[in-house]
Amino acid sequence: MAILITKVLTKADIESCLSFPTSSIGPVPFQEGHSMDMNVHDQSGQEWIFPCTIQRNDTVGRVLSVGWDEFARRKNLAVNDKVIFLEETIENQAPGTCRIKIQVKRKIRLFGNDIWADV
């Protein structure tokens, strides 16, 4: 699996929408105002559909805004959790067939060390 992008969550990511500067995810073949659905699978295999739009932000330029309210609520996400999007090749499918997986990690202190545990 290849990591597509990671982000430590902010209050805005949890309460409104997750957003990434498009420059951090490589070339995006969509222009401002365009929308699409992103199908992702969590660690249990459940599929989630996140509506996404490309928007302009005066500070960072174009951003990908990801609507994931239900996911954030059900997973009880918190500020400083880390979200990781991965690209997984699907075996026994046509070459190049991939799906996007999402992992969420929370930093916990265990025996004096910080570790990232699955949420």
Q: What is the pLDDT of residues 53-76, one digit of tens each?
A: 988 888 888 889 999 999 999 999
**According to DSSP H, which parts of 1-119 are helical?**
11-15, 69-74
Q: Which CATH code for domain 2-118?
A: 2.40.330.10
Amino acid making up residue 60: V
What's the pLDDT at 29?
64
Strand spans (E) along the chain: 2-8, 18-21, 35-41, 47-57, 61-66, 82-89, 98-110, 113-118
Q: Which residues pair with 85 in a beta bridge?
A: 5, 102
The more confident residue out of 96 and 6 is: 6
Q: Span 76-96, mean pLDDT?
A: 86
Q: What percent of the chain has pLDDT over 70?
A: 91
